[in-house]
Structure 1
Amino acid sequence: MARERRRRVPEGPRPHDRGPRGAAARRGRSGQGAAAAVLGVACVVAAAAAWGLWRARGGLAVTPHPAARLLPANGSSAAAAPGLFWGSYRPHVYLGMKTRSPRAPVTGLMWLLPSEGEAPPPPLRHTCEQSDRLAGYGWLRHDGLTFGLQEIRDRGLRLRTEFVKRPGGLHGGDWSWRVTARPERSAGPPPAFISLLFYVATDGQGILRPLVVEKNRLASLTGTTEELGDFTITFLQPTSEAGTGPLYASYNYLHARAEGLHRLSDVVKASLSPRFVYAPPGGPKRRYAGVDTYQGPPDGRERQSQLVVHQVTVALPCRLEMAFESGSVSDRAERLVGEVLTQELASHVAAFDQRFEEAFGLARKGFSAQEQDFAKAAFSNMLGGMGYFYGRSLVQSPHSELPQPYPEGPLFTAVPSRSFFPRGFLWDEGFHQLLLSRWDPALSCEVLAHWFDLMNAEGWIPREQILGEEARTKVPAEFVVQHSSAGNPPTFFLLLQQLLAQGAVDAPYLRSLFPRLQSWYDWYNRTQAGPVPYTFRWHGRDQDTQMFLNPKTLTSGLDDYPRASHPSPEERHLDLRCWMALASDVMAQVAVHLGEPAGDYQHMAKLLADNQLLEQHHWAKALSTFADYGNHTQAVALEWEKPRPPSPGQPLPPPRLLRVVRKPPRLQFVGGALGYVSLFPLLLQLLRPDSPHLGTLLADMRSEKQLWTPFGLRSLSRSSPLYLKYNTEHDPPYWRGAIWININYLAVRALHHYGRQEGPFRQEAASLYQELRANLVGNVFQQYQESGYLWEQYHDGTGKGQGSHPFTGWSALVVLMMSEKY
Structure 2
Amino acid sequence: MRWSIAYLISIIYSIFVLSVTANQQKTFDLYASNPYEVTDDSNLNAKYSKLSDNSLLWGPYRSSLYFGLRPRLPRSLLSGLMWFSMDNYNQIGNIRHFYEQNDKMSKANWINYNPRIGGRQYIKDEEIHFDIYIDFVKSSDGLSWGVKIKGVPHKGFENSKISFVWYSGLEGERKVEDSINVKERTGYIKLENDESLDGYEENIRFSGISEELGAFSLVINDGPETNKHPKGLEELKHEFNPAYTHHYSLTVPDDNVWQARDIFMTMLQESIKNLNDKYKALEYIPPENSFIIKNLQGFEGNLHFIQKIYQGECEFDIIYTNSMTPESEIPTFINIQKMIDAKLRTNDANFEKYYKLQPPFNEPKHKIFAQEMISGLLGGITYMYGDHLVDRFTEFDEDTFESYTLQGSYEGPHELFTLVPSRPFFPRGFYWDEGFHLLPLIKYDSDLVLDIVKSWFNLIDENGWIAREQILGPEARSRVPKEFRVQSPHIVNPPTLTLVLNNLLETISQYKDISEPNEIDDESSEVRLGKFTLSNPEVLLNYTKQIYPNLKNHFEMFRRTQKGYVEEFERPIDNNEVFRWRGRTYTHCLASGLDDYPRAIPPDIGELNVDLISWIGVMTRSLRQMAEVLEIDDDIASLKEIEKNIISNIEKLHWSKDNNAYCDISVDEDDESIFVCHKGYVSLLPFLTKMIPGDDHDKLNDVISSIMNPEELWSDFGIRSLSKSDEFYKTGENYWRSPIWINMNYLVLKSIHDYYYENKFSFSPELKSKFESAYHDLRINLIKNVFGQWQNTGFVWEQYDDETGVSKGAKNFLGWTSTIVLIMTMPENL
TM above 0.5: yes
* Partners of 1:399 and 1:266 in 2: CA distance: 36
Partner of 1:59: none
Name the structure with the higher helix share. Answer: 2
Partner of 2:610: 574
Partner of 2:484: 479
**Is 1:554 aligned to 2:583, yes or no?**
no
Matched residue of 2:307: which SS? Answer: strand
Aligned-residue offset at 1:463: 1.3
* Partners of 1:307 and 1:103 in 2: CA distance: 14
CA contact (8 A) 1:705 1:718 kept: yes
**Is 1:261 aligned to 2:295, yes or no?**
no
Aligned-residue offset at 1:458: 1.0
**Is 1:154 aligned to 2:149, yes or no?**
no
Aligned-residue offset at 1:466: 0.7
**Is 1:528 aligned to 2:562, yes or no?**
yes
Amino acid in structure 1 at the alignment position of 2:745: N
CA contact (8 A) 2:407 2:486 kept: no
**Is 1:499 aligned to 2:467, yes or no?**
no
Aligned-residue offset at 1:364: 8.1
Partner of 1:139: 110
* Partners of 1:428 and 1:569 in 2: CA distance: 27
Matched residue of 1:692: which SS? Answer: helix
Aligned-residue offset at 1:239: 2.4
Gaps of 5+ in 1: 1-63, 278-283, 297-302, 544-549, 633-663, 727-731
Change (3 A) 1:90 1:667: farther
CA contact (8 A) 2:717 2:802 kept: yes
**Is 1:617 aligned to 2:613, yes or no?**
no
Partner of 2:434: 429
Amino acid in structure 2 at the alignment position of 1:238: G
CA contact (8 A) 2:730 2:737 kept: yes
Change (3 A) 1:815 1:699: same
Partner of 1:734: 735
Q: Is the deviation greater in 76-85 or in 213-222? A: 76-85
Partner of 2:77: 105
Partner of 1:203: 171
Q: Per-residue CA shift, 1:163-195, capped at 9, x if unaligned?
A: 110034xxx42210001110222xx64561111
Partner of 2:679: 674
Aligned-residue offset at 1:622: 2.4
**Is 1:239 aligned to 2:233, yes or no?**
no
Identity rate, percent = 30
Partner of 2:342: 347
* Partners of 1:531 and 1:224 in 2: CA distance: 60
2:642 pairs with one of 581, 599, 604: 604
Change (3 A) 1:488 1:70: farther
Aligned-residue offset at 1:119: 4.5
Q: Per-residue CA shift, 1:34-57, capped at 9, x if unaligned?
A: xxxxxxxxxxxxxxxxxxxxxxxx
Change (3 A) 1:394 1:323: same
Aligned-residue offset at 1:377: 0.6
2:149 pairs with one of 164, 169, 179: 179
Partner of 2:240: none
Matched residue of 1:231: which SS? Answer: strand
* Partners of 2:576 and 2:47 in 1: CA distance: 40
* Partners of 1:123 and 1:362 in 2: CA distance: 40
Aligned-residue offset at 1:678: 0.8
Q: Per-residue CA shift, 1:391-436, capped at 9, x if unaligned?
A: 1222222489964433322111111111111111111111111112
* Partners of 1:245 and 1:674 in 2: CA distance: 61
Q: Is the deviation greater in 394-403 or in 672-681? A: 394-403
Change (3 A) 1:76 1:157: farther
The number of residue pairs the alignment matches comes to 692
Matches within 5 A, 1:682-761: 682-689=687-694, 690-726=696-732, 732-756=733-757, 757-758=759-760, 759-760=763-764, 761=767
CA contact (8 A) 1:77 1:100 kept: no
* Partners of 1:807 and 1:305 in 2: CA distance: 38
Q: Per-residue CA shift, 1:76-104, capped at 9, x if unaligned?
A: 99898211111111100001110111112
Partner of 1:60: none
**Is 1:271 aligned to 2:267, yes or no?**
yes
Partner of 2:353: 358
* Partners of 2:602 and 2:321 in 1: CA distance: 62
* Partners of 2:93 and 2:39 in 1: CA distance: 45
Partner of 2:790: 784
* Partners of 1:129 and 1:68 in 2: CA distance: 44
* Partners of 1:355 and 1:486 in 2: CA distance: 40
* Partners of 2:481 and 2:808 in 1: CA distance: 22
Matched residue of 1:132: which SS? Answer: coil
Aligned-residue offset at 1:502: 1.2
CA contact (8 A) 2:268 2:292 kept: yes
Amino acid in structure 1 at the alignment position of 2:94: P
1:251 pairs with one of 245, 252, 261: 245
* Partners of 1:751 and 1:370 in 2: CA distance: 27
Change (3 A) 1:196 1:304: closer
Aligned-residue offset at 1:68: 6.8
Q: Is the deviation greater in 341-350 or in 554-563? A: 341-350
Change (3 A) 1:395 1:71: farther
* Partners of 1:617 and 1:626 in 2: CA distance: 9
1:763 pairs with one of 766, 769, 777: 769
* Partners of 1:764 and 1:120 in 2: CA distance: 57
* Partners of 1:691 and 1:434 in 2: CA distance: 28
Partner of 1:643: none
Matched residue of 1:469: which SS? Answer: helix
Partner of 1:377: 372
Change (3 A) 1:489 1:239: same
Q: Is the deviation greater in 472-481 or in 461-470? A: 472-481
Change (3 A) 1:625 1:402: closer
Matches within 5 A, 1:400-549: 403-503=408-508, 504=534, 506-532=540-566, 533-543=575-585
Partner of 2:210: 225
Q: Per-residue CA shift, 1:220-257, capped at 9, x if unaligned?
A: 211222211221111111326xxx56867343221123
RMSD of aligned residue pairs (Cα, Å): 3.1
Partner of 2:24: none
* Partners of 2:300 and 2:660 in 1: CA distance: 63
Change (3 A) 1:617 1:557: same
Aligned-residue offset at 1:624: 2.4
Amino acid in structure 2 at the alignment position of 1:475: V
CA contact (8 A) 1:199 1:307 kept: yes
Matches within 5 A, 1:637-676: 668-671=673-676, 673-676=678-681
Matched residue of 2:102: which SS? Answer: helix
CA contact (8 A) 1:582 1:684 kept: yes
CA contact (8 A) 1:138 1:152 kept: yes
* Partners of 2:702 and 2:49 in 1: CA distance: 54
Aligned-residue offset at 1:606: 2.0
Q: Is the deviation greater in 266-275 or in 469-478? A: 266-275
Partner of 1:794: 800
Q: Per-residue CA shift, 1:738-778, capped at 9, x if unaligned?
A: 11111111001001112222223233112211111111111
1:773 pairs with one of 759, 766, 779: 779
CA contact (8 A) 1:791 1:807 kept: yes
Aligned-residue offset at 1:571: 0.7
In the superposition, the TM-score normalised over structure 2's length comes to: 0.78
Matched residue of 1:179: which SS? Answer: strand
Change (3 A) 1:406 1:119: closer
* Partners of 1:251 and 1:671 in 2: CA distance: 67
**Is 1:84 aligned to 2:56, yes or no?**
yes
Partner of 1:646: none
Partner of 1:14: none
**Is 1:315 aligned to 2:311, yes or no?**
yes
